[in-house]
Amino acid sequence: MNLNAFRENAKIEIEKVKTDGELEKVRVKYLGRKGNLTEVLHSIGDLPKEERPEAGRIANSIKRELEELIKEKKEILEEKKTLLWKDLTLPGRKPFIGTLHPLTVLGEEVQDIFIRMGFSVVEGPEIETDYYNFTALNTPPDHPARDLQDTFYLKDGRLLRTQTSPVQIRILEKHSPPLRIISSGKCYRMDTFDPSHSPTFTQIEGLWVDKNISMADLFGTLELFAKEIFGENIKTEFLPGYFPFTEPSCEQLIQCPFCLGEGCSVCKKKGMIEILGAGLVHPSILKKLGYSEFNGFAFGMGVERIAMIKYNIDDIRLFYQNELQFLRQFNES
Ligand code: DAH
């Protein structure tokens, strides 16, 4: 028998098959126990001895080829069946599109408010030196205020910044006033996680240095900021505070947006909530940088804190757990 013609015939028949039943018939016909190929293999014994190995090799390769073709055909038939059962009228699945994290969105919103007031955005490093993070900010090594900010130190003596305030020094070293800058970024303190603390958090720092800047400029700017973030009717109050790098220093409070000053669990019955620290840049800092004739104000806020007040979130850890259910609330579209 011509083995090539045999192979071609088999291929054509497999190709034509349209149903499982037909495919099974073709399989039995060629590869079955009493099939054509089995016959061929048996008849090899009748060939002259020297032709047997070659004929055997060809017959076996045809066998493998046909088995492979039948397997492929089976898969094609299966696929057709599932296609027939697909319900093309089912509504499609909406792909979930990633969105910015709520802290990023709010951080940008805060920065935009200050950009509209003429501030420029600048950046500073997260790994800082002791000098920029403390000493240049009027906090020498023996200063008690260092105890308030438990610091992560690196082996080489540098540290993870505990605040964004070092940006003030870095910018004033490179650019002379008048200037208005805003800077946002991660800060680190050796706190353990609890509902209101996290070892990593986000701060936004502001600095305005010019001539004749007064507390009135500071109050006006920050009051406008609070109204933009919490609404036109929010009431603001400033109380005296303490920071080594500002004199005088203050804290900005807003009327609790949940009870409108009545006193509730969010504001711990106080009616007011602290949102940031601020003050007039300490004259000794400006003097050391060579800007004695200038003065200015600075402020710093925690983005998590602003977000918790704005959205009534009672646990800071929710921002870092990446629970989609939590995150999706901020991006309903
Ligand atoms: N760096 C301060 C902190 O982490 C916040 C702060 C207070 C920044 C007063 C300022 C400022 O620029 O003037 O607690």
CATH (domain of 264): 3.30.930.10
The total domain count for the chain is 2
Within-domain flag for 123: yes
Within-domain flag for 91: no
Which residues are CB-contacts of 32 (< 8 A; sequence separation ≥ 6)?
38
Helix pair 20-31, 3-16: axis angle to 10 deg: 170
Within-domain flag for 172: yes
- Which of 84, 117, 135 finishes a domain? 84
Within-domain flag for 89: no
CA distances for 214 relative to 40, 138, 176, 221, 294, angstroms: 105, 20, 19, 11, 11
Same domain (yes/no): 194, 108: yes
**What would the pLDDT profile of 190-210 be if each residue is shown by its tens digit?**
999 999 899 999 999 999 999
Q: Point out the ligand 1 atom lying closest to the alpha carbon of residue 205.
A: 12
Cβ of 278 less than 6 Å from ligand 1: yes
Same domain (yes/no): 43, 124: no
245 is in which domain, residue-wise?
102-331
pLDDT score recorded for residue 130: 95
Same domain (yes/no): 124, 236: yes
Same domain (yes/no): 112, 75: no
Same domain (yes/no): 66, 127: no
Q: Which residues of the chain have pLDDT under 50?
A: none
Three-class DSSP category at 114:
helix
Cβ of 208 less than 6 Å from ligand 1: no
The model's pTM: 0.74
pLDDT score recorded for residue 80: 84
- Cα 150 to ligand 1 centroid, rounded to whole Å: 15
- Cα 29 to ligand 1 centroid, rounded to whole Å: 88
Cβ of 183 less than 6 Å from ligand 1: no
CA distances for 103 relative to 22, 113, 114, 187, 278, angstroms: 64, 15, 17, 14, 21
Same domain (yes/no): 28, 161: no
Same domain (yes/no): 149, 178: yes
**What would the pLDDT profile of 125-142 be if each residue is shown by its tens digit?**
999 999 999 999 999 888
Same domain (yes/no): 62, 182: no
- Cα 312 to ligand 1 centroid, rounded to whole Å: 23
pLDDT score recorded for residue 34: 83
Within-domain flag for 211: yes
